[in-house]
Amino acid sequence: EVHAADVDPAAVRCARGNLAPAGGRVYAGDLFDALPDALRGRVDILAANVPYVPTDEVALLPAEARDHEPLVALDGGTDGLDVLRRVAAGAPGWLAPGGCLLTETSERQAPDAVDAFTRAGLTTRLAVCEELYAHVVIGVRD
C-alpha cells in the first residue's frame, strides 16, 4: 500500500499519475494533515522529500532549480530545517513499531537533522553516499 501527500497541486497531479498504476493514493495537504487517520501507527516507511535550502540561499541556487521549482519545494526556512523538524516531530505517531523515516539533507545540516530525529524519540543514523554527495537521515521508531 502506497500513500503520498504534497502541498503543491502540480506535484499532487504528477504523483497521482505515477502512483495510479500501482494502486497508490495521493492526498493534497500539508504533511501529516493530508493523511487519513487510519494510517496512524501503521506506516512502515515514511520517505519525506522536504525542502532544505535556507531561505537566504534560495537565490544562490542554479537557475534550473531556482527558476523551475516551486519555492515551497526549495525553501526550508531560516536554517533550511523548518519542515524537517516538523516531519521528525510528527513521524513517531504515524510510524509502526520498527517503521522508519528517511529524509535527505545537506552535509552541513546533517548534525542538526540527526538531532531533530533523536529529539523526536527515533533511533537515528546518517547514511552517506560520497559518490552522489547524498546525506540521508534515517530514524526508526522503537
Tens digits of pLDDT across the chain (142 residues) = 999 999 999 999 999 999 999 999 999 999 999 999 999 999 999 999 999 999 999 999 999 999 999 999 999 999 999 999 999 999 999 999 999 999 999 999 999 999 999 999 999 999 999 999 999 999 999 9
pLDDT of 138 reads 99
CA distance 123 to 105: 17
> Quick one: cell of 62?
542554479
Could you tell me if 77 and 132 are in contact, meaning their C-beta atoms sit under 8 angstroms apart? Answer: no
Virtual torsion, Cα 66, 34, 86, 128, nearest 10 deg: -60
CA distance 16 to 18: 5
Strands (E), 16-133: 25-28, 43-48, 95-105, 123-129
Q: Where are the domains of the chain?
A: 1-39, 40-140
State the pTM of this model. Answer: 0.92
pLDDT of 36 reads 97
Nearest to 104 by CA among 142, 132, 141: 132
What is the second-level CATH architecture of the domain 40-140? 3-Layer(aba) Sandwich (3.40)
Give bridge partners of residue 127 from the DSSP assignment: 136
3-state secondary structure of 115: helix
